[in-house]
Amino acid sequence: MKLKLIPRSGSKDLVAIGFDSNLLKIAHLGTLAMGRKVILNLVSQDIGELSEDDLPEIIKTSLNKMKIRNPQVMAIIPPSLSITKNIEIPSVKPQEIKEIIDLQASRYTPYTREEVILDYIEIGTYRAQYTKILLIMVNRGIIRKQFEIVEKANLEIKKVVFEPEGINHLLNKVLRLESKKSPVGIIHLKQSSVNFSISLKGKIIFNRNISFSSQELVDQKENYAERCCRDTKDLLEDYKNEGIGESPELFILTGAIKNLENLEDRFKKTLSLSVKSFPYQQNLPIFPLALETIAKNDQLSFLDVIAPLLIPEQLLRVDLFPEEIKANRVLKEKSKSIVQTGILIVTILALLSGVLMNKIYFKVLCLNKLKEQYQPLQQKSQVLMETFARVQLIKTYLSGRGTSLEVLDEIYNLIPLEIYLKDIKFNQREESFSFKGISTSRDLIYSLVEKIEKSKYFKDAKTSELKKREENGENLIDFELTTVLERKGKE
């Protein structure tokens, strides 16, 4: 019994949209119920006779049938709409390489520098200070037109993919080509063209597009098959002549090859190299419904839109995303972030204000209740405070009564008979005493200072003036002594 595969709803869908000549192709990567990633749906639509205004509606209708909402969208740029050149840059520094490419880009395209979007793949360095690169250029108007069509379908392009790079990484992953020491050629047959590229260690080092179609090869196999092999051989010779790298020993033939079984033998004979076919529909995880679409359109190749969906996005190094659109999106994201931050701040402030007001309200209620509860006690405490103040006033009065007499008595006891006081002054504001007197010796004065210092009524005693004089044959000393009243007394 076969296991029935069921798509899982709600997973993040990836969609690749490719505009190649007069053909629109859409691939949808989804997740099965068991968690396996597969190509669930494929769509192809001839848009040769349709206007650009019809395309958004076709995309929306296709995605609605697939039941896809808000997918991540990749835009696929085919090699037929790009220009690739292998050039050498006289620098090994990435920043200098970018600056030189910006200056020289107009030499390799009929457009001005402002009209193209470009990027490059670094191949390697040689002659010490030179870097070989594969330069990739696309008309800015082509990419902008794809963005406008997709945006009108209410979608947003997240990544712009250079088609050969996606196919290269997928084949490297599936066939393990990175382990090969020599380059590998890749020939991809499509309805609109045949793309020829050479890959080395996972990187495209050469890419050219041949103006054939797989339909022509089917209708006139002999003539066009011979011509395709011959032109491919010429491109291989160009690759060798440009000295880009070693000659490939293996070519992978893929794309719309179902009806071209003998083409593999023709390539082997023309190129004198090993050629291996890769029928992608047999080797990739593709849902039965999508396989039916491939079978009905066996002249088409869906590998260009399938490949970038099946590899990690970080492997896609070529960046053809318009800088102005990238800057606008960054600005929108920042504006959105600022608005969200502002809303968050206002919300937090509102919540904090609400919590604060709530706390204040309940505290006011509690305070009013306490006031009401303790009002009688407060009145009683007020009466007690007034009574206490009166008692303190009386106590202070009683404690100070008779102090002046005690101080004068202390002064009288401290002054020896040998010292005569001429003047005693009391400064009420500073509560200090000033004594002027006459002594027969300095020792008596110093002794008096020590006694005053030790007294419980005074502090900070010091002499400020000592003058000797003689009177009636006796030596006398005039002095002035100051001290501060100590009301509390010494313990």
Q: Token pair 């083409």 is at which residue? A: 263
The per-residue pLDDT for 396 is 67
What is the residue type of 1? M
The CATH number, out of the four listed (3.30.420.380, 3.40.50.970, 3.40.50.1110, 2.40.110.10), of the domain defined by the range 14-321: 3.30.420.380
pLDDT for 445 beyond 80:
yes
Q: How far apart are CA 96 and CA 184, in angstroms?
A: 30
pLDDT for 299 beyond 60:
yes
The per-residue pLDDT for 157 is 94
Q: How far apart are CA 234 and CA 222, in angstroms?
A: 18
Confidence bin at 308 (pLDDT 50/70/90): very high
In residues, how long is the chain?
A: 491
pLDDT for 277 beyond 50:
yes
The half-sphere exposure of 128 on its side-chain side, counting CA atoms within 13 A, is 0
The per-residue pLDDT for 10 is 47
- Strand residue runs (E) in 375-431: 420-427
The per-residue pLDDT for 38 is 93
Q: DSSP assignment, residue 108?
A: G
- The domains of the chain are located at 14-321, 325-401, 403-485
Choose among 85, 78, 127, 126: nearest CA to 104.
85
The per-residue pLDDT for 219 is 62
Mode of pairing for the β-strands spanning 37-46 and 23-31: antiparallel
pTM: 0.68
The per-residue pLDDT for 302 is 94
**Mean of pLDDT values over 22-26:** 91
- Of 7-21, 30-44, 321-335, give the lowest mean pLDDT range: 7-21
Confidence bin at 491 (pLDDT 50/70/90): very low
pLDDT for 358 beyond 70:
yes
Confidence bin at 427 (pLDDT 50/70/90): confident
CATH number of 403-485: 3.30.1360.100
Higher-pLDDT residue of 439, 402: 439
Q: State pLDDT tens for residues 360-417.
A: 988 888 888 888 888 887 777 887 888 778 777 767 666 656 677 778 788 888 888 8
Q: State pLDDT tens for residues 189-223.
A: 887 788 999 999 889 999 999 876 555 655 666 66
Q: DSSP assignment, residue 245?
A: S
The per-residue pLDDT for 228 is 77
Q: DSSP assignment, residue 287?
A: -
- Of 66-70, 166-170, 461-465, give the lowest mean pLDDT range: 461-465
